[in-house]
A and B are shown apart, each in its own frame.
Chain A
Amino acid sequence: MRLILGGKLTGFHPDAKRGAVEVKLAGPTRIDTLLGELGIPVKEARVLMLNHKKAFLDSLVKPGDRLGIFPPELAFNLYVALELAHNDEESKGEG
């Protein structure tokens, strides 16, 4: 799969500074599992984009997919902020 890390999250992969990096997956993997493998704290993964669409921590990433992960300080455009509103509502619902 191809992984795009935003902002300071580029520090969690040695090659992520200059753009998309290839990550090998054994099979379908939950995003929160992948975050754990990369060492990225869940609270830093504020915006998740899987194949250009919103994704959630329990979404499955498969070989060949494209995943963008962005921290809170980058979550500031119309689209993403609306995503946040959605996620916040969901998290409230879960709480």
Chain B
Amino acid sequence: MKDRIIRVNMKTLTVSEEEVPEKYAAYGGRAITSAIISDEVPPLAIPLGPENKLIFAPGILGGTASANSGRLSVGAKSPLTGGIKEANAGGQAAQVMARLGIRALIVEDKPEDTTKMYTLEVGSESAKLVESSELKGLGNYDTVDKLVAKYGDKNTALVTIGMAGEMGLLAASIACTDRELRPTRHAGRGGLGAVMGSKGLKAIYFDDEGTKTREPKDKEAFKAAARKFAAALLEHPVTGEGLPTYGTNVLQNVINEAGGLPTKNFREGSYEGASKISGEVQHDVILERGGKVAHGCHSGCVIRCSRDYHDKDGHFITKGPEYETIWSHGSNCLIDDLDAIAVMDRMDDDIGLDTIEMGATIGVAMEAGICDFGDADGAIKLLAEVRDGTPLGRILGSGAKVTGQCFGVDHVPEVKGQALPAYDPRSIQGIGVTYATSTMGGDHTAGYAIATNILKVGGFVDPLKPEGQVELSRNLQIATAALDAAGLCIFVAFAVLDKPEAFEAIYEMINAMYGLNLGPDDVTALGKDILKIERKYNEAAGFTNADDRLPRWMYTEPLPPHNTVFSVTDAELDEFYNFMD
């Protein structure tokens, strides 16, 4: 089957198909979402207006037998940052899309009748829009229940939005169902759920009936490379043992001991309550209650960092929760109650909200005195305000920056309008460079991995000092952009960057899949090309170097326990994009 692009026009309610243009031939995931935005969305477009486009794309290795290749990239001009956005998610959608031969799905324009909502049905032979106003106003869980009742629980993958997306809130996410058909995996960042809602699109149903794993051009070579890749992931202590056993939240204690755990709305760098909500405690609680550890969020995942969290009576509440969520709703708000955090994670998933943005927002709301730090019930009530669409809820659902502006808070952790994640850049300076310079706004995944081997960063970069941080972050961001284009989970980086054979296996798989002859330099070149496209788009949208800065207080307020400030200079930050044409 030849790959295709599906174009959905929400004004005319028509669907068309086209061949993948030659210029996108080697593009998948973030590469193709960003390229299409750059080519088709005017940089000054209003994010919730008809000119913006929402693009879904599996990675170039999606739907293949490669381990951990099931990330779904979702792109648009972001209503939160005003710049280009790619947020990616796990779940089943990307694998099914790729097996259906869909390189990208473009949703454009807006319906004339804004009271109606639609579901897009996509199968191997056809794609069509059906009106589904019965889903209007529902949360993701109820939406998925109704869609599963309609389409069945076999061969189904769903992409949906909750109330936040329908309301056009800037923290709105897009949910993807996991293997158990739960809306637990979200393209969280940047308010893409609001873009989907603005187009009247409530859900996408992908029919996996009759599809097969994508066949490589060179089967034997692909098999060998895929085997090498999976073996490296399973052998590496982090991807083979740490993440499956304890999940991402194993970082809670580690980052706390490093003094980089943002606490009380980024006022402190360590939290006494962290050990009560650590990955180790979470692991034991999950097993005591009959939940699951070592759960893969999509087929083909061998790392299995997901988990099922149950309440005290043994009923499923939510997945994970993940480190970022337990930090944002927990440490950042001085809440050391895993059950309360799990309830908030479930609410975020149901309402369709980015958990990082919402935890950071509640921290700002606590700073404003709307509720007390440590008040779990109060925090849950604030999320209920968002769900119910009250005036306060709509402010909160529009993120940390808007909430800070509305309540006169001068201590708001955000870059380019997007809330900062779970690492304080005053203790971990390198991640601060990523927050400042990423085309995505405050984002840890854009430059999270470690590149000491393949990109020859080498040596020791002291996290408390500015030296070497820009080069480190640059190389990480280039490598990450390439991984995002492949559709690979960011966590493969731990093995890829420690084990040369794992890195080799990635381009060997791509070569065997498509009959190409790529080498390591081509991977780097692809990453640079993606960043160039995104940077140029943001410049045309009005961003300058002055936007590549952390909040001013991070340069002036020392963070305990290290009592350091962010000290990478503006001139050094401005050197980040030295590879631009």
A residues contacting B by CB (< 8 A) are 4, 6-8, 10, 17-20, 47, 49, 51-53, 66, 68, 70-82, 85-86, 89
Chain B 416-440 against A: per-residue CB contact (8 Å), 1 yes, 0 no?
A: 0000000100011011000000000
Cβ of B318 to closest chain A Cβ, rounded Å:
22
Q: Can you identify 15 A-B contacts, CB atoms within 8 angstroms? A: A4-B275, A6-B253, A6-B280, A47-B254, A52-B259, A71-B237, A74-B242, A76-B242, A76-B243, A77-B251, A77-B255, A79-B260, A82-B460, A82-B461, A85-B460
B270 at the A interface (CB under 8 A): yes
Q: Tell me the bound Cα distance from A51 to B245 in angstroms.
A: 27
Which residue, of A17, A70, A74, has the highest number of chain B Cβ atoms within 10 A?
A: A74
Extra inter-chain contacts (20) besides given A77-B258, A79-B260, CB under 8 Å:
A6-B253, A6-B254, A7-B250, A19-B275, A20-B275, A51-B561, A52-B561, A53-B259, A70-B254, A73-B240, A73-B241, A73-B242, A74-B238, A75-B237, A75-B238, A76-B251, A77-B254, A82-B461, A85-B458, A85-B459
Asked whether A49 and B452 contact (CB < 8 A) given A72-B237, A85-B459, the answer is no
Question: Would A7 and B246 count as touching, CB distance under 8 A?
Answer: yes
CB contact between B463 and one of A6, A20, A82 (< 8 Å): that residue: A82
Cβ of B131 to closest chain A Cβ, rounded Å:
47
Which residue, of A72, A81, A89, has the highest number of chain B Cβ atoms within 10 A?
A: A81
Asked whether A18 and B460 contact (CB < 8 A) given A68-B253, A78-B428, the answer is no
Q: Which residue of A has the minimal Cβ distance to B277? A: A19
Q: Tell me the bound Cα distance from A82 to B464 in angstroms.
A: 11
Cβ of B239 to closest chain A Cβ, rounded Å:
8
Interface residues of B in 252-266 (CB under 8 A from A): 253-255, 257-260
Question: Within 8 Å CB of A20, what residues of B?
Answer: 275
Q: Tell me the bound Cα distance from A19 to B423 in angstroms.
A: 21
Q: Tell me the bound Cα distance from A7 to B238 in angstroms.
A: 11
Question: Would B257 and A49 count as touching, CB distance under 8 A?
Answer: yes
Q: Tell me the bound Cα distance from A59 to B258 in angstroms.
A: 16
Q: Tell me the bound Cα distance from A85 to B472 in angstroms.
A: 13
Q: Tell me the bound Cα distance from A17 to B459 in angstroms.
A: 35
Asked whether A17 and B260 contact (CB < 8 A) given A6-B254, A73-B245, the answer is no
Question: Within 8 Å CB of A53, what residues of B?
Answer: 259, 562
Question: Would A82 and B242 count as touching, CB distance under 8 A?
Answer: no
Interface residues of B in 536-566 (CB under 8 A from A): 561-562
Q: Which residue of A has the minimal Cβ distance to B323? A: A77
Chain B 430-458 against A: per-residue CB contact (8 Å), 1 yes, 0 no?
A: 11000000000000000010101000001
B130 at the A interface (CB under 8 A): no
Q: Tell me the bound Cα distance from A20 to B254 in angstroms.
A: 12
Question: Within 8 Å CB of A8, what residues of B?
Answer: 245
Question: Within 8 Å CB of B427, what residues of A?
Answer: 79
B328 at the A interface (CB under 8 A): no
Question: Would A81 and B452 count as touching, CB distance under 8 A?
Answer: yes
Interface residues of B in 455-495 (CB under 8 A from A): 458-463, 494
Question: Within 8 Å CB of A78, what residues of B?
Answer: 423, 428, 430-431, 448, 450, 463
Question: Would A89 and B280 count as touching, CB distance under 8 A?
Answer: no
Chain B 504-534 against A: per-residue CB contact (8 Å), 1 yes, 0 no?
A: 0000000000000000000000000000000
Chain B 267-296 against A: per-residue CB contact (8 Å), 1 yes, 0 no?
A: 001100001101011001000000000000
Cβ of B546 to closest chain A Cβ, rounded Å:
26
Question: Within 8 Å CB of B458, what residues of A?
Answer: 85
Q: Tell me the bound Cα distance from A6 to B104 in angstroms.
A: 42
Q: Tell me the bound Cα distance from A8 to B431 in angstroms.
A: 28
Question: Would A81 and B450 count as touching, CB distance under 8 A?
Answer: yes
Which residue, of A17, A51, A78, A81, has the highest number of chain B Cβ atoms within 10 A?
A: A78
Question: Within 8 Å CB of A85, what residues of B?
Answer: 452, 458-460
Question: Would A19 and B448 count as touching, CB distance under 8 A?
Answer: no
Q: Tell me the bound Cα distance from A73 to B498 in angstroms.
A: 13
Q: Tell me the bound Cα distance from A52 to B261 in angstroms.
A: 11
Q: Which residue of A has the minimal Cβ distance to B468? A: A82
Q: Tell me the bound Cα distance from A71 to B245 in angstroms.
A: 13
Question: Within 8 Å CB of B276, what residues of A?
Answer: 18-19
Question: Within 8 Å CB of B275, what residues of A?
Answer: 4, 18-20
Q: Tell me the bound Cα distance from A30 to B461 in angstroms.
A: 26
Q: Which residue of B has the minimal Cβ distance to A16? A: B280
Q: Tell me the bound Cα distance from A77 to B256 in angstroms.
A: 12
Cβ of A84 to closest chain B Cβ, rounded Å:
9
Which residue, of A10, A66, A79, has the highest number of chain B Cβ atoms within 10 A?
A: A79
Cβ of A6 to closest chain B Cβ, rounded Å:
6
Q: Tell me the bound Cα distance from A72 to B238 in angstroms.
A: 7
Asked whether A79 and B238 contact (CB < 8 A) given A7-B250, A52-B259, A74-B246, the answer is no
Q: Tell me the bound Cα distance from A17 to B280 in angstroms.
A: 7
Question: Would A52 and B242 count as touching, CB distance under 8 A?
Answer: no
Asked whether A74 and B250 contact (CB < 8 A) given A49-B258, A79-B428, the answer is yes
Question: Would A68 and B280 count as touching, CB distance under 8 A?
Answer: no
Q: Tell me the bound Cα distance from A77 to B258 in angstroms.
A: 10
Which residue, of B240, B242, B463, has the highest number of chain A Cβ atoms within 10 A?
A: B242
Q: Tell me the bound Cα distance from A7 to B31 in angstroms.
A: 37
Cβ of A53 to closest chain B Cβ, rounded Å:
8
Question: Would B250 and A19 count as touching, CB distance under 8 A?
Answer: no
Q: Which residue of B has the minimal Cβ distance to A49? A: B257
Question: Would A4 and B460 count as touching, CB distance under 8 A?
Answer: no
Q: Tell me the bound Cα distance from A66 to B281 in angstroms.
A: 19
Q: Tell me the bound Cα distance from A10 to B281 in angstroms.
A: 10
Question: Within 8 Å CB of B459, what residues of A?
Answer: 85, 89
